[in-house]
Chains A and B, each alone.
Chain A
């Protein structure tokens, strides 16, 4: 892979965490190191939705955090639109929008203020930002809540505001960890519909999920991660190989478990 339409190239990305004594106790393990991501490689093409699929603890969030330059890989690298997450994080940051349920909006402020605030952090021209805000807030029905403190918003409204704010700078790549986590079906649908819309508008989306049906419905390409390693990556049809995605996952999972034993 890695043709001219490649926008994200991940090569041998690895990350090992030191487990604190507390964490060892919590997870009932004596290992001191946790290999969260293990030589992970995959490619994402421009204008597609790529889904990282995997069970809990597979290393999805860790991978996305490395792509978003929040944590540094131990080895390997990822090129985001040609910029290295290791050597050029600043360039990467201005090209991506990163969204996870762990990244919160300050509850004290209103969505409108936070949108302007992040527009400034991204150096977006104020006039452009204002137009963009109007469009996004209308799209998500935030309009009437734009001057309400985030603390008083419902979970769904918060998620929609977070989404709008994470793309304040109109990034080419949107990285989204568990996009529908904690949302009701209606809000989840608004979010996934919007992601499809962004893709159709030429944006690239990398998301993580453990919900196979969501991946089947939304993603153009998927990668299945088990234990920090990439089991298979490719277009949805390639990965499914004529099967149901979930069945395919169980096959791969058993195969990997068998190898480990």
Chain B
């Protein structure tokens, strides 16, 4: 509207009784924000559904998922492998106990029993079948003596099922056992012979960070977006639907104060919801990481990152939330009802999920700075960078700037929408 003309002019004259301009224009902005907070924090139902439930649910889901993965991808220590051997040579027998494989010996003549074991292996009901040549030890001696042609080198057959965790483990145990026996007989050279040394130099950070950088960005984006959906349509489309926004619009409150006040306060509330989810995730992390084989360490995953990492993450999250709230607010202001707002927002939700999912496939953060000017994508890449310890501070700065500028644009457009009678009184 044309209130720019008179914003400052003629303010002294003819003031209505009781009004005082002295306390500045920020009063209205503060009042709008205070109302949004009050609306939220004095409503027990809202506090429970947006603050407590997300964190609790994520903790519960991921803890259960972590435990399930643990049983899926690892073999418990007291598991007894179901292994059988045909013609188990006398030379190898003494070594089997140390390897943890207690072979059942099968008569080479009972072909039926052998076939049955193979069947059970394919049904994941058995772990390993080792078939040795009948004269294994004798042929081994002649090979070692060098007086036998290479074609007579004895061959051992190991039958297993690679999709069955226990079977795959039994297979590698058997391979290890045979390998070390071979090395003992013919020590040409050895690899990683010292069992006291940890040869895999992956750091605890790397392994855990890799896991987190894959999953967390998408997870965070979805959590942040759902948090924003939880508050913005209700506050904007809801007020429009119920006719309470028009009551505010007849006061001298500036439209930009209404727009900015809503966007900022709703972002704060959504941030708390996001924090709840984040805490839930971090608390469930030890189980998740334990399950993936990454060393979970003694403490929760939280300890992996430095304070600076967390600060960066927080800044990225805040700027992302502001943008999300800004975008959802625009769609909500456009909608005639909360329900319609939900319909309008869902394509955006899908977009956020897809872009978040792209983050799963990035090993490390995008290096080309220009990409950090693409909203949503930039947030995902920043998170990938932070979680995988590969972030570039310039990229984060550019992301923050982009998101803040775009949120500002959202506030400006929202102000225009609040000024438009077509939007406020749409029929």
Contact = CB atoms under 8 A, between A and B. Distances in A.
A105 B1 contact: no
Nearest to B239: A106
Contacts of A96: 250
Contacts of B250: 68-70, 93, 96, 98, 103
Contact of B19 (A82, A94, A104): A94
Interface in B286-344: none
B35 A117 contact: yes
Q: How large is the interface on B (under 10, 10 to 19, 20 to 34, 35 or more residues)?
A: 35 or more
A93 B251 CA distance: 6
Given A93-B251, A104-B244, A121-B251, A70 B28 contact: no
A95 B16 CA distance: 6
A51 to B, nearest CB: 20
Contacts of B424: 70
Interface residues of A, number: 47
Contacts, number: 116
B252 interface: yes
A107 interface: yes
B421 A70 contact: yes
Nearest to B20: A125
Interface string A70-100: 1110000000011100111111011110100
Interface stretch (A165-173, A188-196, A237-245): A165-173
B18 A128 contact: yes
A145 interface: no
A129 interface: yes
Interface in A34-91: 65, 68-72, 81-83, 86-91
Contacts of B19: 94, 122-125, 169
Interface of A: 20, 22-23, 65, 68-72, 81-83, 86-91, 93-96, 98, 102-109, 113, 117-118, 120-125, 128-129, 132, 169-172
Interface of B: 1-3, 5-7, 10, 14-21, 23, 27-28, 30-32, 35, 38-39, 43, 239, 242-244, 246-254, 421, 424-425, 427
21 contacts: A69-B1, A70-B425, A87-B6, A88-B2, A88-B5, A89-B1, A90-B252, A91-B10, A102-B246, A103-B243, A103-B246, A106-B39, A108-B43, A118-B251, A120-B30, A123-B20, A123-B27, A128-B18, A170-B17, A170-B18, A172-B16
